[in-house]
Structure 1
Amino acid sequence: MEELVVELHPGIAGSANNPLTIRERLAAYTELTKPRITFLIVLTAAAGFALATRGRIDYLRLVSAMIGIGLLSSGIATLNQYIERDLDALMRRTSDRPLPSGKLLPREALVFGAGLTVLAEMYLAVLVNPLTALLGLTVIAAYLFAYTPLKTKTSLSTLVGAFPGAVPPLIGWTAARGELSLDAWVLFAILFLWQFPHFLAIAWMYREDYARAGILMLPVVEPDGRITGQQIVIYTLMLLPVSLLPTALGLSGQVYFFGAILLGLLFLYSSVRAAFSQSRQEARRLLLASVIYLPLLFILMVVNRK
């Protein structure tokens, strides 16, 4: 059977004589949505939904809410890549993304991202609740119009970006309960603090790439790594007691409490090693520890919920 192909404009994906197949084109659109990040966002939002639920979880409502949240995350990720397409072209680790590599046209990404984002907001407002849609709007505004442009202006962009980055559990919470409470803000605080060791590990690993693109991550403006290491350890230390608050507030039980201590100490160990060694290898290990820590923490929190 002959393979279907889509003709592209000259200069895209090599040339019009070398078009992308349907499968390659779908893969490029999928890549724009950053599936792994979207999965983690949906996971933390689902945890927020489960923890906010009184009694048995309504799985149909849960799935419905996660569809809207997944669409929103995918739309924002796509628009972010549209905005940063010129910067991505300057960095080795991002130069093969769909826009800088020429697999897709910028306007195709813009239409796709805007469409997903608008659809997600309509979905959340109509099929979930208005508060959840409002939180989605705050993420759109803060991530695309504050964090993203600040990345080339100040290293404090990481702090700014941590606010919208910590909203997914809040969105999951409001999707289940239609209101916010102190418990929900504790989930926000956990994700907020977790982002610093996670993203500083990435920034240390790819500091030359960021410098090449003019993105002012902390390891770029402070190349000796002393302050970067201090912040990694400080935020991980702060995360440990905050991660125990779900038990203190009655969200989760003792199994979670001791599991959170163990996970927090292991995460702290990785953070201290990365801070002292200032090596790419230890930064990579810290990154791995961070992406193991967060899902396990939230899964344990939900499994042992009260």
Structure 2
Amino acid sequence: MTVKMNNSFSVKNKLSDYRQLIKFSLSFMVTFSAVISYLLAPNVVELNWKFTLLFFLGGMLVTGSANAVNQAVEKDTDAQMKRTASRPVASGRMSEMEAWTFAVVSLLVGLFILAFYFNVLSAVIAFISWLLYAFVYTPLKKVNSISVLVGAVPGALPCLIGWTAGQDELSAGGWVLFAIQFFWQFPHFWAIAWLAHNDYSKAGFKLLPSVEGPGKYSAIQSIIYSMVMIPVGFLPYFVKISGFISFWILLAANLWMVYLSWNLYVKMEASAARKVMFGSYFYLPIVMFALLLDKLPIVQ
């Protein structure tokens, strides 16, 4: 009985470690936007659960692989920060070799799913996104805050991957969805960097747009990018990938992000940055579901 319980506990702990290794919540959110983008492609005229789930699996594997590489590369840095010290590689519960092995295997399987069941183009874009995140954005975080701009590219490419998987081409609709997620990331990530600034600085990360850390300049940058999101939010309607209802929902959501960023500028408090962070978490699923529910006959 004791052996069985210990084995069960060990398996549970190992699964928990792999969940942390792939940053499950982050991977799920990224893959979610890719799946919605796939369903928004005009060529996808009905909800096929088999292909939708296959695409979700492929996306989770590639995204999880990138996050595993990130943790293997940054294990020493993660160990210095309170919020990441308990990660499996940083804490020593998982070896670098195990993390790299998982990353390579999951990447290859994920790319195979995308190439075989959808198209090679989506797999190629996924691989480019993986390279940018793992080997450009990750080391650049200690060099300059421009890393946030660079990291926003692989952060938004899942939308283009999803669109390409469904449409089999790079076209306007995919780039519009890419733009929505690209600009959304700035107020979202800067709010996180604002709240975790001391931890990040201790580890040598340079993520806020100002070298002075949390301040008026960083808040102004959040306002600017939130304002850019307003005209970008009009584009799905004008390129005819969605309808009039989502047009107004996106406008309201973008105005809300501007308000939250303005509130941060006025108050300059952690509580205001936290509102920007949580507001951005709600923003993405609201916008994506609005586009899908307004566009696709498969959900009508």
TM-score category of the 2 structures, normalised to the smaller one = over 0.9
Runs of 4+ in 1 over 3 A off after TM superposition: 3-6
* Structure 2 unaligned spans of 5+: none
Higher helix share: 2
User: What RMSD over aligned residues (CA atoms) do the two structures have, in Å?
Assistant: 1.7
Structural mapping, 1:252-267, within 5 Å: 252-267=242-257
Q: Does 1:174 align with 2:137?
A: no
1:249 to 224, 234, 239: 239
Q: Counterpart of 2:282?
A: 292
2:215 to 192, 210, 225: 225
Q: Does 1:45 align with 2:34?
A: yes
Partner AA of 1:92 in structure 2: K
Contact kept? 1:198, 1:290, Cα under 8 Å: yes
Contact kept? 1:47, 1:298, Cα under 8 Å: yes
TM-score by length of 1: 0.92
CA distance in 2, matches of 1:62, 1:176: 10
SS across alignment from 2:46: coil
Q: Does 1:28 align with 2:27?
A: no
Contact kept? 1:25, 1:103, Cα under 8 Å: no
* Structure 1 unaligned spans of 5+: 7-19
CA distance in 2, matches of 1:285, 1:195: 15
Q: Counterpart of 2:140?
A: 150
Contact kept? 1:85, 1:99, Cα under 8 Å: yes
Q: Counterpart of 1:13?
A: none
**Per-residue Cα deviation, 1:224-277 (whole angstroms, up to 9, x for no partner):** 512211110000000011012111111111110111111111121111111222
CA distance in 1, matches of 2:10, 2:49: 37
Contact kept? 2:39, 2:292, Cα under 8 Å: yes
CA distance in 1, matches of 2:49, 2:11: 34
Aligned residues: 294
Q: Which moved more, 1:185-194 or 1:40-49?
A: 40-49
CA distance in 2, matches of 1:108, 1:4: 24
Q: Percent identity?
A: 35
Q: Does 1:87 align with 2:77?
A: yes
CA distance in 2, matches of 1:276, 1:264: 18
CA distance in 2, matches of 1:167, 1:224: 28
1:62 to 52, 55, 58: 52
1:104 to 79, 94, 97: 94
Partner AA of 2:222 in structure 1: I
